Amino acid sequence: MQAYKAQLRRHLADHGWEVVEVVEGDDWWVDEYWRLESRQNLWGWAVILTFLVDPMWDAPRKKGQGVWAVAASETTPADRLSAEGGLTDLCMVKGRFDEKLRAFVAALDAHRNAREHATRADRPG
């Protein structure tokens, strides 16, 4: 899991995102949360990444084990369903991780860009 997290951090940084906080989850369904902030356009805008634990995991779990997806949302989700219904997600199941990672970060970038355009449109001109 650490290798995936390092790869995720690098790719996010390459796209103008900084991990500014990591918080351990205290529910069975979340391993940890990352708070990202944009360091590119829309400076400081935050997104929360939630590292989701596989709902079928039925053994004792160490930190980082059983994580099957990363979900992105604008706020810290209150429950698993709201986490899964966020902005986008990244499946951590093996196979084509590089492609999935690129698509995940592209979706975050697109959401940031759409948010920036909406913010500009709201300004009196």
Which spans in the chain are helix H? 2-14, 80-84, 97-122
> Would you state the structure tokens that stand for residue 22, as one six-digit string?
């990591």
In SS3 terms, 96-110 reads as: CHHHHHHHHHHHHHH
Q: What percent of the chain has pLDDT over 90?
A: 61
List pLDDT tens digits, range 50-75: 999 998 888 888 888 889 999 999 99
Query: Percent of the chain, pLDDT > 70?
Result: 94
Kind and range of the H or E element at 31?
strand 30-38
Residue with tokens 């991780």: 97
pLDDT, averaged across the chain = 90
- What pLDDT shows up at residue 69? 93
Interval 42-55 mean pLDDT:
93
Query: What is the Cα–Cα distance from 115 to 109, expressed in whole angstroms?
Result: 10
Compare 123 and 25 and report the one with higher pLDDT: 25
* Mean pLDDT confidence for 38-50: 93
pLDDT number for residue 49: 97
Token pair 């429950």: residue:
79
pLDDT at 22 over 70: yes
Which pLDDT value is given to residue 1?
62
Whether pLDDT at 125 is above 60: no
